[in-house]
Amino acid sequence: MSKTLKKLFGLSPRINYTRLIQEGAMVLDVRTPAEFEKGHIAGAINIPIEQLRANMNQLVNKHRVIIACCTDGSKSWYAKNLLDANGYRSVYNAGDWRKLQKRIQLH
């Protein structure tokens, strides 16, 4: 995968998600509740992408780091862009939640 695509989808190996989480980052899983219940990262909050705009009030602190994840990176990419456009300062698209979970466990 090209560097541009990796950067676009938040797949850069330079981001230390483990450190971000240890420092208080929120993991935002934008999959459906049914998908979330089948498995998710411990401590993640679930706001389906279709409901994110109407439920941004749940993400009160616009300066808190948010790590968005989903099944393949497309919904979390949309979530990152939506949150960025609404004044959230530090939003990362981590892509596939299973890959994010493995990256967190490796550190």
Catalytic site residues? 70
SS (H, E, C) 51-80: HHHHHHHHCCCCCCCEEEEECCCHHHHHHH
**How many separate helices (H) and strands (E) can be counted in the chain?**
6, 4
